[in-house]
């Protein structure tokens, strides 16, 4: 029998995994390469580390130490990026707040998290009025004297190693959003953040030559761990505070952007903006809804190559990726059909399965539906101060996602719906995703969401909430006729409601609000 008693872990062969090490290596190797671009300023990696050191030094002076929670309510600006390193460098826990939350939600999160202080900026400060947690505003621009300026001055030493005693130590506390009930605090560890960040570098082809545009909010799953991943690669972070097609195209052209991530709603904004095309192609990772043929064709024409990811706050962001690459089919319809799948597991996702109600895996036939469950080092430690929800989420030894999917013969997964978004009408299961895919094929539809509305006879029926394109004269009759051409009778939406759809800050459509609207309209 192999005897390994003398081979125990020691300082020479074991060091807790943490994304802070990724920063240190990049500063050593790429210290003079551009790290962060914001407005008319560019900082190299040595200078960016100095910003981080100033932030860590200031936080320490405020009494922040190991185990404390530091909240930040910032847009995608350099201090938000720096916080992903400065806060954990002290052994503290980063709580990145959704910038679109209402005051009551913010107050709940700050209280639940036990935040020691909050960093904000001028545009997010009003939402923090009246909170009990101490608030500090960062400067509007470097050197303008409007707030805490971390861009100038002495850069003290940054020694974090002793503050990360364990790789299972919490690095971030991210609160879920866009669902009913109180948000839950997802605890992420240094180990999970490190692994997902390195996995993203591998999966998406990040290199020191990459230039990443921050169209995805950094508060959303820590920017899907790209805050750490782009840094690990030594690439350029191009900061963007407000998502709008005009600055997106301008920054892509100015910095020759190679990568970006966003929800489909941002892609539809770009598609609706015009025919501007970048001078070089941009790889875009999107998730939340499958790209339609119309969207795919329009984005390809404009110089954007889409890949489709899937994940949750509880999985540090991406858990699967579908990147057809050179194997993509020839026609747009065929490529869209392939990209509708969520693909294969992320290379740091240890296990993914589609299971039925008994916990058994469904056949790989592309038809049998079940729930996606995950098992991985890149799954959350649990829900903060909520042991019951944690145990429920981990029942049976997997993380239960609540997403309904099939497994194709080649092993790829394809989501059919959220369990709560399936419309059960007269005993028939109707996929809201299928209906939304059809509606998005109509040239005058910008966005569409289908939810269940209560019905006296059928239990519930599908209703479609539609955001038309600008200057469109779209009518209910138009859409009903269109759906008659593409859907079985029992699947067709029974009502079409026009208007802007409610969205989270990450672009996800808030279906629970639409369900409430439908219920209210039925009873009126």
What pLDDT score was predicted for residue 180? 46
Structural element, H or E, at residue 438? helix 432-439
For residue 506, the model assigns a pLDDT of 62
SS3 90: coil
Report how far apart, in Å, the C-alpha atoms of 431 and of each of 16, 106, 422 are: 44, 34, 5
Task: Give the DSSP letter string of 196-213.
Answer: HHHHHHHHHT--TT-EEE
Give the β-pairing of 93-96 and 69-73.
parallel
Packed helices 476-486 and 432-439: angle between N→C axes, nearest 10 degrees: 110
DSSP state of 98: P
pLDDT of residue 8: 84
Q: How far apart are CA 282 and CA 279, in angstroms?
A: 9
Q: Any idea which fold 422-523 has?
A: GMP Synthetase; Chain A, domain 3 (3.30.300)
Answer yes or no: are the C-beta atoms of 493 and 484 closer than 8 Å: no
Residue 198: both structure tokens together: 């390195």
DSSP character for 138?
B
Residue with token string 């591998």: 202
Collect all residues with Cβ–Cβ distance below 8 Å to 338 and sequence separation of at least 6. Answer: 322, 324, 328, 329
The pLDDT of residue 178 = 46
Q: For the purposes of burial, counting CB atoms within 10 Å of the CB of 11, is it exposed (0-12), middle (13-18) or buried (19 or more)?
A: exposed
Across the chain, which distance is largest between two alpha carbons, in Å? 78
pLDDT in tens, the chain (524 residues): 888 888 888 889 999 999 999 999 999 999 999 999 999 999 999 999 999 999 999 999 999 999 999 999 999 999 999 999 999 999 999 999 998 887 888 999 999 999 999 999 999 999 999 999 999 999 999 989 899 999 999 889 888 888 999 999 999 999 986 444 678 999 999 999 999 999 999 999 999 999 999 999 999 999 999 999 999 999 999 999 999 999 999 999 999 999 999 988 788 888 888 766 677 799 999 987 677 788 888 899 889 999 999 999 999 999 999 998 877 888 888 998 899 899 999 999 999 999 998 999 999 999 999 999 999 999 999 999 999 999 999 999 999 998 889 999 999 999 887 766 778 786 566 878 788 888 998 999 999 999 989 887 777 889 999 999 988 889 999 999 999 998 878 789 999 999 999 987 667 788 888 988 998 998 87
The helix or strand, by DSSP H or E, that contains position 354, with its residue range, turns out to be strand 351-355
At residue 505, the pLDDT reads 62
User: Tokens 């239990």 belong to which residue?
Assistant: 459
Closest-CA residue to 465 (of 419, 418, 519, 417):
519
Q: What is the pLDDT of residue 187?
A: 98
Write the DSSP symbol of residue 358.
T
Helix pair 245-255, 264-273: axis angle to 10 deg: 90
What is residue 179's predicted lDDT score, i.e. its pLDDT?
44
Q: Where are the domains of the chain?
A: 422-523
Degrees, nearest 5: CA angle 260-265-266: 35
CA dist., res. 170 & res. 490, Å (int): 49
| CA dihedral sign, ordered 411, 412, 416, 419 | positive
- Reported pTM: 0.85
Structure tokens at 218: 């950094």
Question: What sections of 114-244 are H helices per DSSP?
Answer: 190-204, 221-224, 226-233
CA distance 388 to 29: 46
């Amino acid at each position: 029998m192999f005897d390994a008693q003398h081979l125990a872990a020691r300082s020479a062969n074991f060091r807790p995994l943490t994304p802070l090490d990724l920063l240190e290596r990049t500063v050593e190797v790429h210290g003079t390469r551009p790290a962060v671009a914001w407005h008319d300023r560019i900082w190299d990696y040595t200078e960016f580390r100095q910003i981080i050191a100033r932030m860590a030094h200031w936080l320490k002076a405020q009494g922040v130490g190991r185990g404390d929670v530091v909240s930040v309510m910032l847009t995608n600006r350099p201090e938000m990026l720096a916080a992903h390193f400065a806060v954990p460098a002290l052994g503290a826990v980063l709580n990145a707040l959704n910038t679109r939350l209402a005051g009551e939600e913010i107050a709940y999160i700050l209280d639940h998290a036990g935040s020691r202080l909050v960093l904000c900026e001028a545009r997010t400060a009003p939402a923090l009025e009246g909170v009990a947690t101490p608030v500090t505003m960062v400067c509007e621009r470097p050197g303008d004297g409007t707030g805490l300026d971390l861009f100038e001055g002495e850069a003290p030493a940054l020694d974090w190693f002793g503050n990360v005693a364990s790789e299972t130590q919490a690095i971030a506390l991210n609160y879920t959003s866009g669902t009913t009930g109180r948000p839950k605090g997802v605890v992420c560890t240094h180990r999970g953040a490190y692994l997902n960040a390195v996995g993203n570098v591998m999966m998406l082809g990040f290199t020191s030559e990459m230039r990443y545009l921050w169209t995805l909010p950094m508060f959303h799953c820590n920017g899907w761990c790209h805050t750490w991943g782009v840094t690990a690669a030594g690439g350029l972070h191009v900061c963007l505070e407000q998502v709008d097609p005009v600055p997106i195209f301008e920054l892509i052209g100015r910095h020759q952007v190679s990568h970006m991530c966003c929800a489909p709603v941002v892609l539809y904004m770009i598609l609706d903006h015009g025919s501007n095309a970048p001078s070089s192609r941009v790889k875009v990772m999107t998730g939340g809804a499958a790209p339609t043929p119309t969207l795919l064709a329009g984005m390809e024409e404009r110089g954007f190559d889409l890949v489709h990811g899937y994940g949750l706050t509880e999985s540090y962001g991406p858990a699967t990726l579908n990147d057809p690459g050179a194997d993509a089919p020839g026609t747009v319809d065929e490529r869209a059909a392939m990209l509708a799948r969520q693909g294969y597991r992320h290379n740091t996702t240890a296990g993914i399965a589609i299971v039925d109600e008994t916990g058994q895996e469904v056949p790989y036939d592309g038809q049998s539906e079940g729930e996606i469950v995950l098992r991985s080092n890149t799954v959350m430690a649990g829900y903060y101060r909520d042991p019951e929800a944690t145990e429920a989420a981990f029942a049976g030894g997997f993380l239960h996602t609540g997403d309904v999917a099939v497994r194709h013969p080649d092993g790829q997964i394809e989501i059919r719906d959220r369990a709560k978004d399936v419309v059960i009408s007269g005993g028939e299961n109707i996929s809201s995703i299928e209906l939304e895919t059809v509606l998005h094929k109509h040239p005058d539809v910008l966005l569409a969401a289908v939810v269940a509305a209560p019905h006296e006879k059928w239990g519930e029926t599908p209703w479609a909430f539609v955001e038309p394109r600008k200057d469109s004269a779209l009518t209910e009759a138009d859409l009903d006729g269109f759906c008659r051409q593409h859907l079985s009778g029992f699947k067709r939406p029974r009502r079409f409601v026009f208007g802007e759809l409610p969205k989270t800050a990450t672009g996800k459509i808030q279906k629970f609000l639409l369900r409430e609207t439908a219920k209210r309209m039925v009873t009126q």
